[in-house]
Amino acid sequence: MEGAPLFSFGVIADIQYADAEDGYDFWGCRRRYYRHSLRLLRAAVEAWAAEQPPPAFVLQLGDTIDGVNARRGAAESALERVLAALRRLPAPVHHVWGNHELYNFSRERLARSGLNSRPASAAGAAGDCQAYHFSPAPRFRFVVLDAYDLSVLGRDAAAPRHRQALRLLKEKNPNENLNSPAGLKEPQFVEFNGGFSQDQLDWFNEVLKTSDENQEKVVVMGHLPIHPDSSDRVCLAWNYEDALSVIHAHQCVVCFLAGHLHDGGYCVDSHGVHHLTLEGVIETPPESNAFGTIYVYDDKMILKGRGRISDRVMYY
């Protein structure tokens, strides 16, 4: 029997709610349970709220509502339902933005929405980058990364960052459909992914430097996985290697949490960093679920998974 953890937190990814009939992924292989995903979220919230003590906070790893909402003029109502479900939690929620948020809203709109969990006082990366960090307990820090800081989604086509991202995407992906990875040497260069700007990487490096100095353990989160062994070759951040290089230049990072790849994934990298990609709620049958609670100890984190998320012990 383990002793009491220092603290615990909830994790959930890719809810992709829409008030729509079930559909399928792009390949027609995986069923997407658009309506049920909200029920699964509500069940997750109830389970977290019933824990004694409840998690100190919840990490929502992106794609709260599906892109189909935009086409139906239902973005605002869908988001409100998801946020209303999350408001029943007795704990704050830290959000990252995924591609489906950006199919529904501009970054500007998201910054004014309930999906902006970045404290107004947070010193983050420059521009409209959503990255920030917080310390929930002495010697522990969480870094929220913005994996669509460099992206063609969510910004006006005239914005310099949009133009920079489109130039890079077209350089790497000559396909007519920029969402198609067909024939690419670097198949992560698709429109539904994004990357980290140099400003954000520099900021990230400084945060980790301070954490090293203060002997903190750091958990990093972002919508897109950054290690090929915790993902398929497509569902990675464009410049995932740059983010990995920053992490590996420091001692403090113990775990990277992501969503996006609905089948989930896990690996421990060459530097002992755990990379956990959570199974997505949207492709989880109504009788199951996909969320978890992570219990944090001095020497490890224990993931108690629910439904199709496995239990896991991650030693530092």
Of the two residues 260 and 275, which places its CB atom closer to ligand LZXBYLUK in the complex?
A: 260
Which stretch of DSSP H or E encloses residue 137? strand 132-137
Q: How far is the CB of 299 from ligand LZXBYLUK (least distance, A)?
A: 33
Cα Rg of the chain, angstroms? 18
Q: How far is the CB of 265 from ligand LZXBYLUK (least distance, A)?
A: 10
The two structure tokens encoding residue 149: 């800081």
Q: Report yes or no: 306 and 289 within 8 Å, Cβ to Cβ.
A: yes
Contacts of 205 (CB under 8 A, 6+ apart): 246, 249, 250
Of the two residues 117 and 188, which places its CB atom closer to ligand LZXBYLUK in the complex?
A: 188
Of the two residues 259 and 305, which places its CB atom closer to ligand LZXBYLUK in the complex?
A: 259
Of the two residues 21 and 299, which places its CB atom closer to ligand LZXBYLUK in the complex?
A: 21
Distance (Å, whole) CA 48 – CA 44: 6
Of the two residues 55 and 280, which places its CB atom closer to ligand LZXBYLUK in the complex?
A: 280
Which stretches of the chain bind ligand LZXBYLUK, using CB under 6 A?
A: 25-26, 63, 99-100, 177, 179-180, 192, 235, 260-262
Please identify which residue in the block is written with the tokens 């980058």.
129
Please identify which residue in the block is written with the tokens 């993902």.
231
Q: How far is the CB of 161 from ligand LZXBYLUK (least distance, A)?
A: 20
In sequence order, what DSSP letters do the residues of 31-47 get, joined into one string? EE-TTHHHHHHHHHHHH
Q: How far is the CB of 15 from ligand LZXBYLUK (least distance, A)?
A: 11
Distance (Å, whole) CA 33 – CA 30: 10
Q: How far is the CB of 260 from ligand LZXBYLUK (least distance, A)?
A: 6
Q: Which single residue brings its beta carbon nearest to ligand LZXBYLUK?
A: 179
**Cα-Cα end-to-end distance for the chain:** 19
Of the two residues 58 and 261, which places its CB atom closer to ligand LZXBYLUK in the complex?
A: 261
